[in-house]
Structure 1
């Protein structure tokens, strides 16, 4: 467990228990004074928590206690070998994210809990049995990722990569290597479930085996979804489809083009670049921390 401090923000590496007790690697960012809000950052699929470090520190500078963490099988929560390691996207939602929400309420129960979901992290807020603990949610490039809703050129590349390379390779190796095009290495069960969702017209909403689907209607707090216009994965129709699943609230969907913030490109990952501190980060933080 290491602790560092810079720019008035301290960060500490720790472990967070999932619902089943699995130890998730996390980093807690704290402001110099008493925090006024608690913020949980929930990663995209195959994306380690280190990608969100700059944004997490920025939120801590605004007076927030911020936790970022790795899902089982990813980053610091990865076992020595992924071959034979049992994990699914269902586990990430029902065990890991649900556990992280519970840990934040246990440790910062007096503070309003804000939820930042990038890509997969926004898709699954609705699945959580404890999503009513969240008082405001910000989605960044979160979508119902049906392949035909992706940008025209990207959709065919993704379909070919997943089915022609990813699935056979995963079945042969027992896990999905990151060099196949998915980012980080992925557990077999995570990748195969993800492929099933991507190939289904309503994405995870078509998965009748998901017991948490009924929890979407329970979330009734303010929700803002940011759609980055040059994102080939989270296109506007895909973001709209995801938002339609949150029937207990009225999601606010904002489309942002790179030129709107003086950038040449943003894409699926670019929001978290420090270059957007005074534009995307500032406006997102102001909304997220509203009373």
Structure 2
């Protein structure tokens, strides 16, 4: 086992409503520069971020990854019986993970690295003001109408046909059949469908299911990184999501796979071990804000 893996621990995180979720804590051997919370994309298990988390730990940061409730090792019981929603990931799981870091490692800077949904849901965290900086990857509103042809056809098919049909037949969404991560609890998928059919993602729920949030208040520095071959988090949808954070000190960075001799970056591959040439963007950002 590698030295980096030897310096990681599985942890149990207790959320405010008593639900327990599973995470992995990666600790640096050197002087601690800060703490990083990696908030995952919809239906993505924390295993995707292992190599990336090890890289950050080797650079001097303590890093926490976790599985959202209903996903991976944080799934309790059968997925078809889960009542989890996207909203509770932002209102319960992400704040609990940040609280865990703040309790274990007080009086340092806390940074959030959000992958897709992990960046979209920050404004639902009741403790988000403690975040010193945000590094979002492939995070956008995911608005269907802003996607380009022919991807818009498959995106609409998945969101507006597969999700309701799968929920009806199986009691959850078989997202794994379409290369979309883990099986999704039906309320997660239903909310995802509804939010992606509107502008501003979670903004469509303001005053409906979302009654308290910090989207209008958060003003920390943030960089929103997307890839030119990402059909979901395209430039229009990134800008649409940033508009939901009116005070955030946001800048953007669009990566081109050709500049790094990569076959693909897309929506997921930033965190691939083959994409390590991209990771210096993260440590450069953290160094500026630690």
The change in CA–CA distance for 1:131 and 1:8 in structure 2 (over 3 A counts) is: same
| Residues in 2 aligned to 1:248 and 1:159: alpha-carbon distance in whole angstroms | 32
User: Normalization by structure 2: what TM-score?
Assistant: 0.94
User: Could you tell me which residue of structure 2 aligns to residue 268 of structure 1?
Assistant: 267
- Which of 137, 150, 162 is equivalent to 2:134? 137
The change in CA–CA distance for 1:105 and 1:255 in structure 2 (over 3 A counts) is: same
How far the C-alpha of 1:7 sits from its partner, in A, is: 4.4
Find the residue that maps to 1:216 and give its secondary structure. Answer: coil
Kindly indicate whether the alpha-carbon contact (under 8 Å) linking 2:120 and 2:141 is maintained by their aligned counterparts in 1: yes
Runs of 5+ in structure 1 lacking a partner? Answer: none
| Residues in 2 aligned to 1:84 and 1:9: alpha-carbon distance in whole angstroms | 36
Runs of 5+ in structure 2 lacking a partner? Answer: none
| Residues in 2 aligned to 1:212 and 1:136: alpha-carbon distance in whole angstroms | 25
| Residues in 2 aligned to 1:48 and 1:19: alpha-carbon distance in whole angstroms | 21
User: Normalization by structure 1: what TM-score?
Assistant: 0.94
User: Could you tell me which residue of structure 1 aligns to residue 201 of structure 2?
Assistant: 203
The change in CA–CA distance for 1:212 and 1:70 in structure 2 (over 3 A counts) is: farther
Kindly indicate whether the alpha-carbon contact (under 8 Å) linking 1:38 and 1:111 is maintained by their aligned counterparts in 2: yes
User: Could you tell me which residue of structure 1 aligns to residue 42 of structure 2?
Assistant: 45
Kindly indicate whether the alpha-carbon contact (under 8 Å) linking 2:15 and 2:96 is maintained by their aligned counterparts in 1: yes
2:60 is the counterpart of 1:63: yes
User: Could you tell me which residue of structure 1 aligns to residue 285 of structure 2?
Assistant: 287
How far the C-alpha of 1:33 sits from its partner, in A, is: 2.9
User: Could you tell me which residue of structure 1 aligns to residue 145 of structure 2?
Assistant: 148
Once the two structures are superposed, the pairs formed by residues 157-172 of structure 1 within 5 Å of their partners are 157-172=154-169
- Which of 64, 80, 84 is equivalent to 2:81? 84
How far the C-alpha of 1:211 sits from its partner, in A, is: 3.0
Per-residue CA deviations over 1:10-37 (Å, capped at 9, x if unaligned) read 1111111122121111000001134221
How far the C-alpha of 1:210 sits from its partner, in A, is: 4.1
Kindly indicate whether the alpha-carbon contact (under 8 Å) linking 1:9 and 1:61 is maintained by their aligned counterparts in 2: no
Find the residue that maps to 2:126 and give its secondary structure. Answer: coil
More displaced stretch, 260-269 vs 131-140: 260-269
Once the two structures are superposed, the pairs formed by residues 19-30 of structure 1 within 5 Å of their partners are 19-30=16-27
The change in CA–CA distance for 1:238 and 1:14 in structure 2 (over 3 A counts) is: same
Aligned length: 287
More displaced stretch, 264-273 vs 67-76: 264-273
Q: CA RMSD in A?
A: 1.6
| Residues in 1 aligned to 2:209 and 2:260: alpha-carbon distance in whole angstroms | 38
